[in-house]
Chain A
Amino acid sequence: MVKDCLKGKPEAQRKLYEQFAKTMLGVCYRYTKSLKDAEDVLQDGFVKVFLGMHQYKFEGKLGAWIHRIMVNTALNFLKKNRKYRDEMYFKEQPLHPVAADNPVIDLQAKELADLIRQLPQGYQTIFNMYAVEGYTHVEIGELLGISDGTSRSQYARARALLISWIEKNSLETKNENYAGK
């Protein structure tokens, strides 16, 4: 399929898009605040994928390569788009201890993604990069132009905030269930 895409065959390109578009839209959705923006990122990302297909060296999974491109495209989108750029400032804050809470996430994937998207833009980005994508704080610092300490601190706050929302959400769900019974 990749070879056919390299030859520019539209059917192969469509097939590849169909295979990865849903998952990749999920990635883009987590980094943005609206579905429309997520689709814009997805569009930019797939254009890069098809035009830069020759850079794929068949080392590692194709999905992982596309995933990296989507994340990079999303980060670039945030930097270029004023709506996001203005909100994405990172204060040098003292290191915030990471809470020991490990709540059970009793949410659907979409619900959790929506909660992540409600985080402030800086928190949202760092949380996605660290907790979901698996970047280290040093890498996040380099990619976002901040210190790794700031990344840690921001992540700890983002995590604490998200956990509180998850717990609150779980409590409300339990109450609703209880009232229903």
Chain B
Amino acid sequence: MRIMRENEFEKRVQQKMGDFNLRPSEEVWTAVERRIRKEKKRRVIAWWPLFFLIAGGGIAAGILLTKKKGKEEIITANKKTETPIQSSLEKTSVPEPVNNSINTANPDTATNKNTAIIVKRSSDEIKIIPVKSATSVKPDRQLKEKQTNVIQKQQNNTEVNNKDIVTADNKNNKKNENPLVTNTVPSTKNEPLIPARDSAKVSNIAVVTKQDIPQKNQKQEHVPQPPDSVSKKETTKTTNKKTKKWDWGIHFSAGRSSIGQGLSFAGQRLYFDALALQSSSPPGLFSNSSSPVPPSFSLATGVYFKKAISKKLDLNAGLGYSYLSTKINAGSRVDSTRQINNYYSQGLTVNNFYRSDGNSSHINGYHFISLSADLSWRIIAGKKINIYWENGFSYNAMLGSSMLHYDRNLQGYYKDNSLLAKNQLAFSTGFSIPVSKRLGVSPFVSYNLTPVLKNSDTLHFTNYGIRIRFLINKK
């Protein structure tokens, strides 16, 4: 009865207060609106660095991957412009090119012994121009002079009409004093000669091989072939050039990750009670009321790019995915709505939570996309073994997490990813031991300089394990 009467008073109070309202000043809405816009802008801005890094990484990767091909094309183009015959051809005053049919060798097949470049011109002449390999950029002066002489002789001897010029790859054989073979063949049209360097601009370009050339028009004399030793030397030169470029490959690492105050390894079993409500002040981070947080599995994979800066120093840059995790002893999941109201999560409604009876383990997983850069310094350079010391930084953007937070009022765990610092900067160090030219194994340790939680600067990730790097374009 007393309770009933007591409740009557409360009911009256509730009724009175239910009707109670006050009109706020206009400044309140203005401030609310301004803060919402500001917060949204801040959230958008927070994603820009990630966007730029990913975009930058992608562009860099694209450039690096296409650079090699581009360089080879440039070398071929240079080779064409410096083909001995070209200078002499340019000297001959010829009309404007009309309907020229020029066949030039594909850069990729330029080193093929059977490759020939056919330049059809308004004469009956076919010229076989030696196409040097990718490394032989500057023509031999003697060779040039000889070739020029040949052209001049041809011009002097005959009124040349309908000439076809065929260039053949003879691998820049220096011993071969006269690689140029000139044949005069009948032609039906008067076509002007096109300088070789302009040949690439002509649309009707086709790759032909020596076999493709009709025998009628190809009364060629013997085209000397380079000795094998010369080819090998050229191949070595090409390889040396490539080592100065970016190499690329894939990496994979596996290990263990943990959360702790400072550098934390397997031995440290922390009690994670970060979100327990004590009083008005922030609660202590660790207590025995919640589960310990031992380390758990971690992995990372992605692509990386490597460039030799000096004999002892390499630069590595990578883009990939990484996963860190820790383990807690949570309990059964309860699908029930709860209001979380502690120092960190205020007014948060959760639709499910986990009991803290410790009956089942829960993996707090953290997914990142990471952009890394490190310097690799060769500290031991032996005949049998080389050891590199690697130091670098990585930017990690959190894609998602299954982390649970403990709440003392709830007596359990709940999920609130808004508490996590989404952008993480990490420092890593380790030793790399090359197993082969392509494969390297490196034990590493990385420490996240950015705290795990936004509102607490004490907890940091530590990750350690073995990383394997495999170069794909290394020859």
- A residues at B contact (CB < 8 Å): 8, 10, 13-14, 17, 21-23, 25-26, 29-30, 35, 38-39, 42-43, 46-48, 50-52, 55-57, 59, 65, 68-69, 72-73, 75-76, 78-80, 85, 98, 100-105, 107, 109-110, 112-113, 130-132, 134, 142-143, 145, 159, 163
Contact = CB atoms under 8 A, between A and B. Distances in A.
Nearest to B339: A68
A39 B27 CA distance: 9
Contacts of B25: 39
A142 B6 contact: no
Contacts of A101: 9
Contact of B36 (A51, A79, A104, A134): A51
B39 interface: yes
B8 interface: yes
Contact of A10 (B28, B33, B409): B33
B36 A13 contact: yes
Given A22-B23, A102-B6, A142-B409, A132 B13 contact: yes
Contacts of A105: 9, 12-13, 16
Interface in B348-364: 348-349, 351
Interface of B: 2, 5-6, 8-10, 12-14, 16-17, 19-25, 27-29, 31-33, 35-36, 39-40, 277-280, 337, 339, 341, 346-349, 351, 408-409
A145 B278 contact: yes
Nearest to B19: A109
A103 B13 contact: no
A14 B29 contact: yes
A25 B21 contact: yes
Contact of B14 (A73, A113, A134): A134
B13 to A, nearest CB: 5
B351 A57 contact: yes
B230 to A, nearest CB: 70
Contacts of B39: 47, 51
12 contacts: A25-B24, A38-B22, A46-B32, A48-B346, A52-B347, A72-B347, A78-B280, A100-B6, A109-B20, A112-B16, A130-B10, A145-B278
Nearest to B17: A132
Nearest to B32: A46
A43 B339 contact: no
B347 A48 contact: yes
B29 A21 contact: yes
A113 B17 contact: yes
Contacts of B40: 8
Contact of A112 (B2, B17, B31): B17
A159 B28 CA distance: 32
B346 A50 contact: no
A110 B20 contact: yes
A40 to B, nearest CB: 9
Contacts of B17: 26, 30, 109, 112-113, 132
A48 B35 CA distance: 10
A103 to B, nearest CB: 7
A10 B29 CA distance: 11
A73 B347 CA distance: 8
Given A76-B346, A102-B9, A50 B16 contact: no
Given A10-B33, A56-B349, A113-B17, 4 more contacts: A43-B28, A47-B35, A55-B349, A142-B277
B165 to A, nearest CB: 69
B6 A98 contact: yes
Given A73-B347, A131-B14, A25 B22 contact: yes
A13 to B, nearest CB: 7
Nearest to B409: A142
Given A42-B28, A55-B348, A132-B14, A80 B22 contact: no
What 4 pairs across the A-B complex have the smallest Cβ distances? Answer: A79-B280, A109-B20, A22-B21, A72-B347
A131 B13 contact: yes
Nearest to A65: B349
A69 B21 contact: no
Contacts of B280: 78-80, 85, 145
Contact of B32 (A26, A30, A43, A134): A43
A105 B278 CA distance: 37
A170 B2 CA distance: 23
A74 to B, nearest CB: 11
Chain A CB within 10 Å, residue with most, of B5, B22, B341: B22
A50 B2 CA distance: 43
Contacts of A103: 9
B347 A68 contact: yes
Contact of A131 (B2, B10, B277): B10
A42 B24 contact: yes
A72 B21 contact: no
